[in-house]
Chain A
Amino acid sequence: MADQTLDMCGYACPMPILKTKQALAKMNTDEVIEVTCTDQGSKKDFEAFCNQLGHKLLSQKNDGNKIIFNIQKN
Chain B
Amino acid sequence: MPNSKEMTVIASKGTLDWAYPPFILASTGIAMGKEVTVFCTFYGLNLLLKDLSHLRISPQGNPDMPMKMPFGPKWFQAIDFSQKIPNIFWNIPGMELFATRMMLKTFKNNGMASIEELRSICVEMGVKFIACEMTMGMFGFSRDDFIEGIEFAGAATYLDVADKSSQDLFI
- A residues contacting B by CB (< 8 A) are 10-15, 17-18, 20-22, 38-39, 48-49, 52-53
How far is the CB of B165 from the nearest CB of chain A, in Å? 15
* Residues on the A chain within 8 Å of B31, using CB: 14, 17-18, 20-21, 49
How far is the CB of A11 from the nearest CB of chain B, in Å? 5
Q: Are B32 and A13 in contact (CB under 8 A)?
A: no
CB within 8 Å of A: which of B115-138? Answer: 121, 125
Complex formed: what's the CA distance from A39 to B110 in Å? 10
Q: Which of B28, B30, B31, B112 has the most CB of A within 10 A?
A: B31
One of A11, A22, A53 near B32 (C-beta < 8 A):
A53
**Given A14-B28, A18-B28, A52-B33, A39 and B111 touching (CB < 8 A)?**
yes
In the A-B complex, the 9 residue pairs with the smallest Cβ-Cβ separation, listed nearest first, are A21-B31, A12-B111, A52-B32, A14-B28, A10-B111, A12-B112, A11-B111, A17-B31, A14-B24
Q: Is B113's beta carbon under 8 Å from chain A?
A: yes
Complex formed: what's the CA distance from A53 to B29 in Å? 11
One of B33, B110, B112, B125 near A53 (C-beta < 8 A):
B33
Complex formed: what's the CA distance from A15 to B20 in Å? 12
How far is the CB of A57 from the nearest CB of chain B, in Å? 14
CB within 8 Å of A: which of B1-60? Answer: 24, 27-28, 30-33
Nearest-CB residue, chain B, relative to A24: B31
* Residues on the A chain within 8 Å of B110, using CB: 12
Q: Are A49 and B32 in contact (CB under 8 A)?
A: yes
* Residues on the A chain within 8 Å of B111, using CB: 10-12, 15, 38-39
CB<8 Å pairs between A and B, sample of 6: A11-B113, A14-B27, A14-B28, A21-B125, A38-B111, A52-B32
Nearest-CB residue, chain A, relative to B5: A52
* Residues on the B chain within 8 Å of A53, using CB: 32-33
Complex formed: what's the CA distance from A38 to B112 in Å? 12
